[in-house]
Amino acid sequence: MTVASPAAVPALDYVFHPRSIAIAGISSKENRRGGSFASALQDIGFRGPIFLVHPTATAIRGLKCYPSLLDVPDDVDYVISSVPARAVPGLLEDCIKKNVKVLHMYTAGFTETGDAARAKMEQTIVARAREAGIRLIGPNCMGLYVPSSRLAMMGDQLPEPGPVAMISQSGVNAGEFVRNALPRGIRCSKVISFGNGSDLKAADFFDYAADDSETEVICSYLEGIQEGPRLAQAIRKAAAVKPVAILKAGRTEAGSRAANSHTASLAGSLAIFDGLCKQAGALRVESMDELVDMAVTFRFVTRLAGPNIVVVGGGGGASVLAADDLAAAGLKLPPLLPETQEALARVTHEAGTSVRNPIDTTSLWQEGGFESTLTPCATATNVDAVLYHTSFGGNWPGSNDMHARMINETNILKRLRDETGKPIVVAIRQAMNASGLAQSQEFIDLCSKNEIATYPTIARAGRALARLLAWQRMHD
Amino acid sequence: MTVASPAAVPALDYVFHPRSIAIAGISSKENRRGGSFASALQDIGFRGPIFLVHPTATAIRGLKCYPSLLDVPDDVDYVISSVPARAVPGLLEDCIKKNVKVLHMYTAGFTETGDAARAKMEQTIVARAREAGIRLIGPNCMGLYVPSSRLAMMGDQLPEPGPVAMISQSGVNAGEFVRNALPRGIRCSKVISFGNGSDLKAADFFDYAADDSETEVICSYLEGIQEGPRLAQAIRKAAAVKPVAILKAGRTEAGSRAANSHTASLAGSLAIFDGLCKQAGALRVESMDELVDMAVTFRFVTRLAGPNIVVVGGGGGASVLAADDLAAAGLKLPPLLPETQEALARVTHEAGTSVRNPIDTTSLWQEGGFESTLTPCATATNVDAVLYHTSFGGNWPGSNDMHARMINETNILKRLRDETGKPIVVAIRQAMNASGLAQSQEFIDLCSKNEIATYPTIARAGRALARLLAWQRMHD
């Protein structure tokens, strides 16, 4: 019997797996300083002890308080600092005495203020922590969301893990990524908000994510380029083994100024960062929406053989705009082959747009019409992918049993995807009313469970597929 | 005593004010052929009689049926044709005998099929209708939504009128425009889906909207250019007196082909259409989202003195992306004047981003903090407009009484807008959870009632303001 050799554990892995946490600087008032971390950790069900440090309170949120970190009777792996900036050096000394491994500094008010004395204080803290072997996350950040460790940085974060990592300089943007990606079937391995990145930097996290066995796709929001050559090397290492998509702020002069105010970041030239990404094989995206779309695309589409898309759905005007949007993104809508048109003509009693690409047909809603319309599209030899678009809340024939229809549609889409090996993606257009909104989410959930990519508009679906092709070209 | 001369009534006004309607080709089955028109008219509360034409049924949906149009005992102003294409000539003869004024042909299957015989049939129908003095809407379209006449083309359309007209070649896109604009405070005067435009064309509707006293802003979705010189003249006439925004499909070769399949449209060159818009002073937009954004902007922002925007909100990463997005759209984020910074410094205990543009501050949520942060921004002499961004569903301090906070904020925004004469617009970012979604809509409603423009993202707000400036330059 052979024993499988265990996967190598990345050096920084302990940072993401604390056994106990202390929160310093918590307020006894609801959700003020540090309180939201305590409730986020309670909500997600952190498995180890959570110790609170408060000068006078005996308990907050049912958690016992200690006057100082040194009074905590057990080992503490991970400390969240919510104390004012001037109190951090003292807290760090306590961490050293207490043999703490990681200090997450939610505390802000350092280099990003533009004040030289405060920048100096940040440097002194980093030097002292390094000397003592403590790793710092931040300052000026939300820290970690790690579902498998039941670590959360905000309320309402799911304990269910998944394969997407998010390395973010901004906590708000990290939270927005998670919230927007979640309803589209994306679950996360490690989400990191690292703020000023005074000790642990983007390079460290890319390096870690490249090695992390729980991570298959890496997304990132960066404001600055710290230690350029090391960052370039880490992105190159990650992008060689996993898809990497990066939203880089500071694209404009105004954005660079804002990045500097926010996380003391030097944004650097966008052209240089673009070159870095191209060399590394990482995809640079332009917006948070696109970052989420690429997480969905890398996760569920994975590969596209070429640019030829057939678009199927109901709605003439939507189809016309779809053709424009896809063509503008660089995709092609090939004319349907005679045999495809003949197969479609057997399904529909309509002519014209029902047998041309984009296919606009009401036959989709007839008994058996969905399967007999989608099948010739997916199996056509001149088609690389199918884009099905739909919307909910209209008062169509058969809309009474929408649930059964959705299950039937996802089963057919999944089967065709598996049989043909071609991506089949779904754009779920704006719902027509409140019940349509709920049905939209139900259909997105069904698709996501079957690993079918969904997008909120046809244009975004087209752009994501085009970006996937561009990413593939970098790696071919 | 002088008697005010009544406003001239545009020649086509009767088309939008039928006193009675007949629907021919209705199915006795739920929501099939024509049935959705009957229920849409019932839902919106059409005030006149609705007659149904059905060969055998005596009543459908509580409405009396007649074997033929000629059997209807009263006058009929407006007929909706849902009969098959081959039955339209016979129905038209009945309309002529019955002295009908307008025939809306929902019926499709004419020129757009690409079949020469069917194209010929459409031409014959138009010629016969013109000879008899009947105006045609369509074929291949959803017809009219006119709240003040209680005419609807789809279910769930509000009877509340407003000043925005939508001239659309596609019914789906007309419906999407209405649904997307509605929750952002937009109400409509006339919404027109005219399909193939075989008799009444875009030019007729632009001409009408220019003269229509109920219309202040004109939006349009066009697939083809019919009778180019006449269309150009009508757009020029309309754009000279009211803001006009047009989404033109067929931007790409694939889109042009799709437009031809959909409404038999010849899309023409985008460059030529662009030139037409520029000469006319109409704004060409790139997507349905942008069309809705411009309806909101023309309606609630109306005028912007210059490109200098101050951005205020909470969230560092969101602020940095805001700066990028606005700068990329062509707007400016001027550094704040010393006196503005001093005024802000009196409010905030934070430094850095709290006194720089974009302003990222938590002081907004303190007692009195919203007013004392927004006031110096709006009154600053180097600022042309304020963009306030926010999101809902977070567990912030004071979020328990969100309703009172929203009312306070809208009151302050409205007062500052009125006192300074500067636009104050609001971007409501993605909600953090379901209750945040409901709060977002409540805040959008409050803003809309106060004629404050709202946008779903900062990027879209920035792009809309930049397009407004571009539109103003065409008219200055």
> Mind spelling out the 3-state secondary structure of B280-294?
HCCEEECCHHHHHHH
Interface test with B, best of A86, A166, A291, A320 (most B CBs within 10 A): A320
Minimal Cβ distance to A328: which of B172, B252, B263: B252
pLDDT reading at B337 higher than 90: yes
- 8 Å CB contact of B352 and A254: no
The CA-atom distances, in angstroms, between A109 and each of A37, A115, A222, B42, B244 are 19, 9, 20, 62, 48
- 8 Å CB contact of B321 and A169: no
pLDDT reading at B395 higher than 70: no
Q: From A259, A287, A288, A286, select the one nearest A177 (Cα to Cα).
A: A288
pLDDT for B349 equals: 67
- 8 Å CB contact of A316 and B36: no
Give the relative orientation of helices B116-132 and B88-97 as an angle to the nearest 10 degrees.
Answer: 0
For B45-82, how does the pLDDT look when each residue is reduced to its tens digit (9 = 90+)? 999 999 999 999 999 989 999 999 999 999 999 999 99
- For residue A326, list chain B residues with Cβ-Cβ distance below 8 A: 254
- For residue A324, list chain B residues with Cβ-Cβ distance below 8 A: 249-252, 254-255, 258
Which helix (H) or strand (E) is B100 found in, with range?
none
CA–CA min distance A248, chain B (Å)? 9
- For residue B315, list chain A residues with Cβ-Cβ distance below 8 A: 170, 172
pLDDT reading at B17 higher than 60: yes
Q: Would you say A181 and A141 are in contact if contact means Cβ atoms under 8 Å apart? A: no
CA–CA min distance B58, chain A (Å)? 22
- 8 Å CB contact of B251 and A170: no
CA distance A467 to A247: 13
- 8 Å CB contact of B254 and A109: no
CA–CA min distance B329, chain A (Å)? 10
Mean pLDDT over all residues of chain B?
Answer: 92
> How many C-beta atoms surround the C-beta of residue B139 within 10 A?
30
Residue B103 and residue B192 share a domain: no
Closest chain A residue to B115, measured at CA: A352
- For residue A113, list chain B residues with Cβ-Cβ distance below 8 A: 351-352
Confidence of residue B354 (pLDDT cuts 50, 70, 90): confident
CA–CA min distance B419, chain A (Å)? 28
- For residue A156, list chain B residues with Cβ-Cβ distance below 8 A: 432-433
pLDDT for A349 equals: 67
- 8 Å CB contact of A459 and B287: yes
Q: From B16, B284, B37, B19, select the one nearest B161 (Cα to Cα).
A: B16
CA–CA min distance A444, chain B (Å)? 16
Residue A278 and residue A231 share a domain: yes
pLDDT reading at B7 higher than 90: no
Closest chain B residue to A360, measured at CA: B262
Q: Is B7 within a domain?
A: no
How many structural domains are present in chain B?
3
> What is the DSSP secondary structure assignment for residue A309, as one 8-state letter?
E
- For residue A251, list chain B residues with Cβ-Cβ distance below 8 A: 324, 327-328
Q: Would you say B340 and B354 are in contact if contact means Cβ atoms under 8 Å apart? A: no
Residue A436 sits in which domain range? 309-475
- 8 Å CB contact of B155 and A395: yes
The structure tokens listed for A390 are 């739909």
Closest chain A residue to B180, measured at CA: A430
- For residue A257, list chain B residues with Cβ-Cβ distance below 8 A: 323, 333, 356
CA distance A294 to B1: 70
Residue A332 and residue A454 share a domain: yes
Confidence of residue B399 (pLDDT cuts 50, 70, 90): low
pLDDT for A100 equals: 98
List the CATH number of the domain containing A74. Answer: 3.40.50.720
CA–CA min distance A232, chain B (Å)? 22
- 8 Å CB contact of B156 and A433: yes
- 8 Å CB contact of A175 and B430: no
pLDDT reading at B3 higher than 50: no
- 8 Å CB contact of B254 and A319: no
Q: Can you point out the beta strands (E) in A140-255?
A: 143-145, 164-168, 188-193, 217-222, 244-248
- 8 Å CB contact of B258 and A319: yes
Minimal Cβ distance to B323: which of A36, A39, A252: A252
Q: Is A148 within a domain?
A: no
- 8 Å CB contact of A432 and B175: yes
pLDDT for B293 equals: 98
Interface test with A, best of B39, B142, B172 (most A CBs within 10 A): B172
Q: Is B177 within a domain?
A: yes
Q: Is A226 within a domain?
A: yes
- Positions of chain A with pLDDT under 70: 1-7, 29-35, 349-353, 395-400
CA distance B424 to A372: 52
Lowest mean pLDDT among A113-117, B46-50, B217-221, B468-472: A113-117
Q: From B242, B333, B257, select the one nearest A258 (Cα to Cα).
A: B333
Residue B315 and residue B293 share a domain: no
pLDDT for B476 equals: 87
pLDDT for B426 equals: 98
Q: Can you point out the beta strands (E) in B319-476?
A: 359-360, 385-390, 424-428, 454-455
Q: Is A266 within a domain?
A: yes
Residue A188 and residue A112 share a domain: no
Q: Is B150 within a domain?
A: no
- 8 Å CB contact of A258 and B108: no
pLDDT for A351 equals: 60
- 8 Å CB contact of B255 and A320: yes
Q: Is A319 within a domain?
A: yes
- 8 Å CB contact of A257 and B323: yes
- 8 Å CB contact of A317 and B262: yes
Residue A257 and residue A349 share a domain: no
How would you write B131-146 as a 3-class SS string?
HHCCEEECCCCCEEEE
Domain endpoint, select from A275, A300, A325: A300
Minimal Cβ distance to A324: which of B249, B316, B433: B249
> How many C-beta atoms surround the C-beta of residue A5 within 10 A?
6
Furthest-apart CA pair in chain A: how many Å? Answer: 81
- 8 Å CB contact of A321 and B288: yes
Residue B334 and residue B296 share a domain: no
Q: Is B278 within a domain?
A: yes
pLDDT reading at B26 higher than 50: yes
Which helix (H) or strand (E) is A153 found in, with range?
none
Minimal Cβ distance to A351: which of B115, B156, B223: B115
What values do phi and psi take at A380, rounded to 5? -60, 135
Domain endpoint, select from B137, B172, B198: B137
Domain endpoint, select from B137, B172, B189: B137
For B258-303, how does the pLDDT look when each residue is reduced to its tens digit (9 = 90+)? 888 788 877 778 888 999 999 999 999 999 999 999 999 999 998 9
Residue B399 and residue B420 share a domain: yes
> How many C-beta atoms surround the C-beta of residue B74 within 10 A?
11
pTM: 0.91
Cis preceding-peptide flag for B139 (omega within 30 of 0): yes
Closest chain B residue to A110, measured at CA: B352
- A374 Cα distance to chain centroid: 30
pLDDT for A1 equals: 42
pLDDT for A356 equals: 87
- 8 Å CB contact of A172 and B318: yes
Residue B295 and residue B313 share a domain: no
Question: Which ipTM value was assigned to this complex?
Answer: 0.86
List the CATH number of the domain containing B226. Answer: 3.40.50.261
- For residue B316, list chain A residues with Cβ-Cβ distance below 8 A: 140, 170-172, 262-263
Residue A338 and residue A220 share a domain: no
Cis preceding-peptide flag for B89 (omega within 30 of 0): no
What is the arithmetic mean of pLDDT over B362-387?
A: 93
Cis preceding-peptide flag for B358 (omega within 30 of 0): yes
The structure tokens listed for B401 are 């009484």
Minimal Cβ distance to B327: which of A108, A255, A289: A255
pLDDT for A2 equals: 44
The CA-atom distances, in angstroms, between A163 and each of A217, B240, B443 are 6, 56, 36
Residue B272 and residue B187 share a domain: yes
Residue B401 and residue B314 share a domain: yes
CA distance A318 to A390: 10
pLDDT for B318 equals: 87
Closest chain B residue to A331, measured at CA: B254
Task: For residue A282, give the amino acid letter.
Answer: A
